[in-house]
Chain A
């Protein structure tokens, strides 16, 4: 059954079995590989995307539930790495292997939208369900706080 949704600002229709997780639709059907497979059970956060502006774990989100919704993936965050969170990530030299970072960034963007001026403890709480085996948490913490400053300077959340 075809499912139509908005993906990174464009109307998209796919025809796959309805229980197929959004993650695999993005990766295999649409070849948008920036969203990563890490665990398949919503335990690691590597697959995090935004659905109607909220962070969601695409590995357990059936495509049938995405119908008529707005999906943003890492590829849709900005055209040119100009999102303050991306800038802050580069500034902090946060990624190492980089595999989990799409999910980290998408989690951070959704969090900062709701909490534009977080405390370090709020950052920790918001980011703690995203796993990074390279151990980049300290730099991510710094990057999220810095992104918040950049966003304030640019006149609020995007």
Chain B
């Protein structure tokens, strides 16, 4: 069995069967007349109005990849259909805030509903790349403004006044003592032509009343304090049964044979059978156990006797990968970016001005608190899926293929997710659930144990970096050479792309000035699965670049903060070294976050004995972040006391949500810097549960302070960009305190003893 999967981050993955757009409009419109504004996140905005009993106008483009819809019904209820999923990042609050700002309603009254998974109408529904607010901001505002314009026009006509005489507040249009609610006006408004969304006048940022407002409480939080929030693993359906899968511990291994006699003898076990691997989505296959409870399935699984073909990677280990890393950086590599002549400049520099350093980062697991799971019911009339998935349309397409039904016969209900961090982009857990469910005449909930989740993750790649360079006698960067290798993501998910495209991040557009810059890369072959992990390659590249610039600062005898400012230089736009379409890095915005973080942290001011500060800044997902960390070291143990972060992410939509995301990224980053890693032995992951994959505890969590640069630029993402600056700020502080450089993560007590 084979499926063809493209990289989830790019485009809708599966061709949908022809689905009547009109049908969708009708089904979305349950009663009476409604105003519907459809818009497209990715290209030109378009709009439609419709009455429920009339066919919808044909969209201007033959196939409009609508991603979200705004609907106002005759009761005045505003519904926002969103393809994006809530995984704790707060979009069920931020998106209605943006819509309400232009529409002129109370944001709390807006209902957020899951959009149907139809790639043609709603486009890529993937939730990731820190893009949910950034990509929705302008289209949502345009839709809100257009709807408001139409509602105001309807009122103005009714009262024979000029629209400019009308004002709007909380869903009520008023003019000259008369007023009408949106509910009153919807029927008339829906008959008016939809204005060109791209030309609809939008509010000036200084007039924002909801966007950027403090003390907005997230909508999803109350249900997360009383157990009523339902995650994927909490789906309970009549007649539902439970399943677990025993997978080969070795990456790429397969079932050779199995004996289920003992497992089947356990009361409550319904069936045991093999499910095949599906190579293209890296679904492992294994032996499935179906039972009347999760616990029974777990026990029966333990009773299985399985012989494995351990596959081609059984000899792989962290040490073998490391050996290959070092062999490659010792060899000539592919030159990716080459400006000036870094090698000649380095060799001509005096020894005391040169800095050479190797940095290493391990595989990391996502370790979402809710392990992977998915519930599937295969019925005669179609397939229904309940998936905690960041990529529901990927789940839809792959489940359709597994079940041999057309895509439009698969309905995916996206559930709340107990963490995502990139792991839930994959379709493997959904596919396994479908493979099992198609043989069972009941709804089936597949649950991964924590051990399954941790040992069959798609890990953040391991990488190795050799940096060499020099400063000149004026204390500026003379040359910077970066040789890098990793187990690249692209090899698993984007074979058409170059291997380095997924790995080098900001080193493609180093914002620090040097005439001589050289970037080299070669991939390291590995059977260890990997994919997108919170902040992706920036999680590694941020550590490498911001540690190295610190090393150069010390070589220049300069203050690390002053050195960064000087090397960023005058306001410049730094282009990508390879991809000409990538946005340039704005060194002025980088300077802005550095200055804000330094100022708020009291950079340069006295600290208690035994403490030191470190600084780092980075650019990822079009956002700028800087950190100042304050640390102490006792008996080799690093203690982070305080982290002050500054972010420039354009217009801050939901400031407290932004702070929460930054705090979250800091803790996630500190865990990866100081605690966790996945090591490989005999072709398998060693750390399988939270006893060995340890995470930052509350008593180790620093005081965190987040500052947001005021901005009227379009918003950019914040789920990920605060992570890359965590490790370098901490270990730059450790160096300032101890003179010891941590170049291999996570830090070990022996590194600093």
Contacts and interface: CB of A to CB of B under 8 A. Distances in A.
25 contacts: A24-B294, A29-B293, A33-B234, A35-B227, A37-B294, A37-B447, A39-B689, A40-B449, A40-B689, A43-B690, A44-B369, A75-B228, A77-B226, A81-B225, A93-B221, A93-B656, A95-B225, A97-B368, A97-B420, A98-B221, A127-B698, A128-B700, A133-B668, A134-B664, A136-B664
A137 B663 CA distance: 9
Interface residues of A, number: 61
Given A36-B418, A40-B450, A24 B293 contact: yes
B222 A128 contact: no
Majority DSSP secondary structure for residues of B touching A: loop
A135 B227 contact: no
Closest 7 CB pairs of A and B: A34-B227, A135-B667, A99-B418, A98-B224, A97-B88, A96-B88, A74-B227
A76 to B, nearest CB: 9
A138 B417 contact: no
A27 interface: yes
Contact of A75 (B227, B665, B701, B704): B227
Interface string A31-53: 11111111111011010000000
Contact of A36 (B370, B420, B667): B370
B177 to A, nearest CB: 41
A21 B690 contact: no
B273 interface: no
Interface string A108-151: 00000000000001011101111111111111110000000000
Contacts of A37: 233, 294, 371, 447
A102 B369 contact: no
Given A95-B224, A97-B88, A20 B295 contact: yes
Given A31-B236, A95-B221, 12 more contacts: A28-B294, A33-B233, A40-B450, A74-B226, A96-B660, A97-B368, A98-B224, A98-B416, A130-B698, A131-B695, A133-B421, A141-B698
Interface residues of B, number: 60
B227 A102 contact: yes
A138 B704 contact: yes
Interface in B222-254: 222-231, 233-234, 236, 242
A112 to B, nearest CB: 15
A32 B663 CA distance: 31
Contacts of A78: 226
Interface in A55-110: 73-75, 77-78, 81, 86, 89-90, 93-102, 105
A134 B88 contact: yes
A78 B689 CA distance: 32
B690 A131 contact: yes
B42 interface: no
Contacts, number: 180
Interface in B353-376: 367-371
B295 A97 contact: no
Contacts of A135: 663-668, 696, 701
A97 B487 CA distance: 30
Interface string B210-230: 000000011011111111111
Contacts of A16: 293
A48 B283 CA distance: 32
B698 A98 contact: no
A40 B89 CA distance: 26
B697 A93 contact: no
B581 interface: no
A124 B668 contact: no
B453 to A, nearest CB: 10
B374 to A, nearest CB: 15
Nearest to B226: A81
Nearest to A130: B698
B18 interface: no
Contacts of A35: 227
B562 interface: no
B698 A140 contact: yes
A30 B486 CA distance: 48
Contacts of A34: 226-228
B331 interface: no
Given A44-B690, A137-B698, A36 B369 contact: yes
Nearest to A87: B225
A17 B266 CA distance: 11
A133 B421 CA distance: 9
Contacts of A36: 231, 233, 369-370, 418
Contacts of B217: 90, 93
A124 B699 contact: yes
A109 to B, nearest CB: 11
B650 interface: no
A74 B234 CA distance: 14
A93 B216 CA distance: 10
Given A34-B228, A90-B222, A97 B293 contact: no
